[in-house]
Structure 1
Amino acid sequence: MLRQIFFNSLIVSIGMLGVEIVTAKTAKANFPVLSKVKKEVEIAPALKKPRASAKGKLSSAIESHFPESDYSQLNISPRVTQIEEISPLPTQSDEIDEMTTEESSSDMTPTDIPAENLKTPVELNPNPDPLILPTKPEEVEIKNIVPLTLEESVLLAKANNRQLEIAKLQVERSSANLAQARAALFPSLNLQGRATRLLDANGELAVEASRRSARAERSSSEASIPMLQNRLATIQQQLAQIDQTDPTQTLPAVNLLIQQAQVQQSLESVQNSLQSAQTQLGDLRNYANTSVNGTLSLNYAIFSPSRQANIRFAKEQLRVSELEFERIEEQLRLDVALAYYNLQQADMSVRIDETDVQARSKRLEGIELQLEAALATRLDLLNAQVELDNSFQSLRNSKAQQQTAQRNIARILSLPPSITPIAADPVEIAGEWNLSLEKSIILGFKNRVELEQQLAQRESSKAERRLAFAAIRPQVSLFANYNVLRLYSDDPSDFVARGGFDDGYSFGISFNWTFFDGGAARAGAKRAEADLAIAEQQYADNANQIRFEVEQAYFQLPAQLENVQSANLALERAKEAVRAAQLRFQATVNTQTEVLDAQTRLVQAQNNLLNAILNYNRALVQIQRAVSNVSDQDS
């Protein structure tokens, strides 16, 4: 019986040794920053003044909380920030060191990526037409994984980010507005041409009236001619009956001759009128006229109060747009860095949880062996199963956060819909900040474009005020006109000019002054004065906000740096605690609960170190943004 118990204990011990090997192997693989990953940080004098060395700065922040023996594993020099390798859990075999050495080459990426799925930067540009969207599910399916460094991500964002492109277009629009305002400095030259075909309605009415008059005259003449002809025939008959030899018939004959002459004259007149009416009816028409007119005009405002005000306003608006472009570009660098660090944290959280699941799975197998050998209880098995289930849940949550972080940075970089990025940079301290708090605040006041934006907006409001008052100021202009005219007529009559050509000109000076506009100009000026006051208040508020952002990030730097040191030590102790708890459990000194608690504390220590490093990096990029993206080289 004793031999069987001893044999079962030996099997369980071998199984638990395998658990410890996997635990040490995966825990170390989670942190490339702790596996001899180095990053050289160029330190330049801040504001041309020497600062304390990086080692003195970092060490002074640590020594107050940790003795030298506690953080001696951190090798910090003025130009190199390096976290040395944390040794694996002590074991009785060298197999752990061999396995961790094999894992060190794959620490750069969170997952194994097929080579055919990796894409080059040439394929990372989005569709140049922003209006084209995918229409098929396979077009938005993630097919390619792209490892990107932080520097590459920033460059891609500057090339592809939509908000930055919008800001660039707004600068171009403001530049066009300025060119349009400057056009008022030059005279305007206008050429106007006009061709007209005119058939006058009044003329048509006059022709119709003339036709009616001619018809009436023709009818009257036609009726009068037979009557006159009969009268003439009667007179002629009477003359024929008079005896010319009779002296008494002389007077009647003379009267008849006179009447005959009068009737003949009237008959001829009526016949002429009839012929004239017939001719008029045939020739009477309303003829159209054609004219071709051209005018060349030159105008120039000698004195225009609105011209310079409009140009000044356009200049300041262009300056505001340029500063907004710069602000968005600087903010974009911060957004990319924060999104990249979130992606790093999500990637490493997945690896930590995967490691924890593997370790707890191995430990559950060992407990099952112990339970078969009557060296563990049912409660130990249930506790191990519950802890494994919790680890699986944490792993699923971490993977969801990883996918979210990947798509977030893909959105910022405007990557094609079938590509998702992963972090290629290792998790490590990104640099140091060598400026004092006071100098950092002053540097922020000097460099932040938000302050200069409000100054430009203030000048723009001044120009807008002058532009409003220009509406009720006098304006003097010069003008000159030259015109040519060509006429064509359809009237064939020789008495009417059938066409002609001539030219003319005019020039002079004009004066315009609006004395009263209902108060519109003064209201516009008052609105501009309010905008000016708003810009001044916004300037002061932005200054307060800038100072707060500098202070907020600055206070985080030493705190997070100390957290890195304490988390580093806590990770070592958590590993040793897992080892000790496991040995005590094998010796039946403690319960499996203590082993599970030690494993939980190990995972927490790993996450704490990850959070401390990335929170330090976040604080570093935030203070760089707070002083207008002054990098560690510039500081």
Structure 2
Amino acid sequence: MSYLKSFPLILTSLYLNFGYITPIFAQSADSPSPVSTNQFNSSANPLLFPTKPKEVEIDKQQSITLQEAIEIALKNNKSLQEARLELEKAEDGLRASLGAELPTVDGQLDFNQRGDDTTAQGGDIFRNRTQFLGQLEVGYELFNGGRRNATIERSRREVYFTKLDVERISEDTRFNVTDAYYELQNRDAQVAIAQAAIEDFSQTLRDAQLLEQAGLGTKFDVLQAEVDLANANQALTRAIADQRNARRTLAEVLSIGQNIELTAADEIKENGVWEYSLEDSIVMAFKNRAELEQLLVRKEINEQNREIALSEIRPQVGLFVNYNFTNTLVDTLENTGNANGYNLGARLRWRFYDGGTAQARGDQETRNMEIDETNFADQRNKIRLETETAYNTLIANKENIGSTEKAVITATESLRLARLRFQAGVGTQTDVINAQRSLTEARGNFLQAIIGYNQSLNELQRAVSNLPDSKLFEIR
């Protein structure tokens, strides 16, 4: 019998008395209705913060699925919002760079007035002269040492780099939300296990009291049972505190409102199967990870930066055509004449020596490219380690699910027999207590195997990324 079939039966038999199991481990026949994620959107004002206790008081509890949690986080995550704005800024920069492929048009108009004192027949004559000087010029850089092409290509790579950053943050967001959700499931189940332990120790205490009253038990057995029950209550108190903290952590990861508390709606079960070998997983991770692609793109950006730096000591060729006009008026409003004309030509500029500045800046960018190559190798090794670690942990937890399932069944039967022997007066309370502790430990191990499997699967999916299509962003 597989654990997926036996798990609900095991847990139902364990927790049926206090009815806590239904919302945590097994969903009812009627699945919860879909939740509108719009109600969890964070405030449009990022600078808003509560100033009154009422504003942070929890007044609503909402149960959500893992998929709903991911959708909420992708809408609300501040780092992701910032990355999208950075992408828009990079696209604006690309448009600005493309403008260099077009000619420039400049206009200029000068106005000046001067007075002339001239001597003529009949006396001195003073005249004011008003002059208008205008110029309209169209220019185009025919060749600028490769700076224009390098600037455009750099802007294109920066857009791609920022798209990859959006992808990286999206993958991180999915991973963090999934991890926080599984942790909440874990804490919910720990509460249920602690409550089950209290039920078991309460039963042991009742048995010890009955045996003492019948003269078959001792006061020591009663006191020992009371101590074990008190310890179980302490464990439950800690479990509830951890559960509340896990709920708050999920709310923080999702960046939701201050007045909402989230609970897990999904049942605890194995959430998928990894179909690839370790070697295939490693190769897929190398191909799919945005972090590796970003380092290659960064190297290309630095290569273009080197071209831009070296363009300063390369020939610069420009074409121009301008039209000039001059209009002069005297104080009698007499137009003394116009002077119009045009110029058409080319300019060649070549800085033969700049003190070695351009070459030094180019060498800096070469060093940056070498640094990018080193970082690429380091990141590649880290990604392999992440993939191998997650894969090996996944396999271990997969194997542990079956063994811990059997341990729960065995421990449950051992406790039943120990209690029957104790009630019949042929067993000891120590046997019952040991059986109870073994069952509590087996329950925890079974749960940890399932939760651990899901967590390692989440880690492996993040290590490989871009599933199922295995495609990075593409420039359109």
Same fold at TM > 0.5: yes
Deviation for aligned residue 1:149? 1.3
Would you tell me which structure has more strand in proportion to its own residues? 2
Q: 1:333 aligns with which of 174, 182, 194?
A: 174
SS in 2 for 1:296: strand
Deviation for aligned residue 1:384? 2.3
Q: Deviations over 1:314-349 (max 9, x none)?
A: 122222111222222222222221111111101111
SS in 1 for 2:173: helix
2:262 maps to which residue? 421
Q: How far, CA to CA, are the matches of 1:401 and 1:101 in structure 2?
A: 21
Amino acid at match of 2:356: G
Q: 2:347 aligns with which of 493, 510, 513?
A: 510
Within a 5 Å distance, the mapping from 1:551-630 to structure 2 comes to 551-630=388-467
Change (3 A) 1:347 1:290: farther
Within a 5 Å distance, the mapping from 1:237-276 to structure 2 comes to none
| 1:432/1:632 contact within 8 Å kept | no
Larger Rg belongs to: 1
Change (3 A) 1:553 1:119: closer
Q: How far, CA to CA, are the matches of 2:336 and 2:108 in structure 1?
A: 21
Change (3 A) 1:547 1:497: same
Q: 1:303 aligns with which of 143, 162, 171?
A: 143
Deviation for aligned residue 1:503? 4.5
| 1:109/1:423 contact within 8 Å kept | no
| 2:35/2:68 contact within 8 Å kept | no
2:356 maps to which residue? 519
Deviation for aligned residue 1:168? 1.5
SS in 2 for 1:482: strand
Q: How far, CA to CA, are the matches of 1:371 and 1:548 in structure 2?
A: 60
RMSD of aligned residue pairs (Cα, Å)? 3.6
Amino acid at match of 1:436: S
Q: 2:2 aligns with which of 61, 64, 74?
A: 74
Q: Which moved more, 1:356-365 or 1:177-186?
A: 356-365
2:107 maps to which residue? 191
Change (3 A) 1:361 1:174: same
Q: How far, CA to CA, are the matches of 2:186 and 2:447 in structure 1?
A: 7
Gaps of 5+ in 1: 1-72, 76-81, 90-94, 207-275
| 1:409/1:421 contact within 8 Å kept | yes
Change (3 A) 1:591 1:485: farther
Q: How far, CA to CA, are the matches of 1:103 and 1:419 in structure 2?
A: 22
Q: How far, CA to CA, are the matches of 2:470 and 2:417 in structure 1?
A: 45
1:180 maps to which residue? 96
1:540 aligned onto 2:377: yes
Q: How far, CA to CA, are the matches of 1:365 and 1:476 in structure 2?
A: 99
Within a 5 Å distance, the mapping from 1:4-403 to structure 2 comes to 73-74=1-2, 82-85=4-7, 87=9, 99=16, 106-107=23-24, 120-195=36-111, 293-305=133-145, 306-403=147-244
SS in 2 for 1:619: helix
Q: How far, CA to CA, are the matches of 1:163 and 1:350 in structure 2?
A: 33
Change (3 A) 1:485 1:349: farther
Q: Deviations over 1:379-424 (max 9, x none)?
A: 3233223222322222222222222222222222221222222111
Q: How far, CA to CA, are the matches of 1:291 and 1:385 in structure 2?
A: 108
TM-score normalised by length of structure 1: 0.66
Q: Percent identity?
A: 36
Change (3 A) 1:632 1:366: farther
1:469 aligned onto 2:310: yes
| 1:119/1:144 contact within 8 Å kept | no
Q: Which moved more, 1:450-459 or 1:463-472?
A: 450-459
Q: 1:409 aligns with which of 250, 260, 266?
A: 250
1:481 aligned onto 2:409: no
SS in 2 for 1:427: coil
Q: How many residues align?
A: 465
TM-score normalised by length of structure 2: 0.86
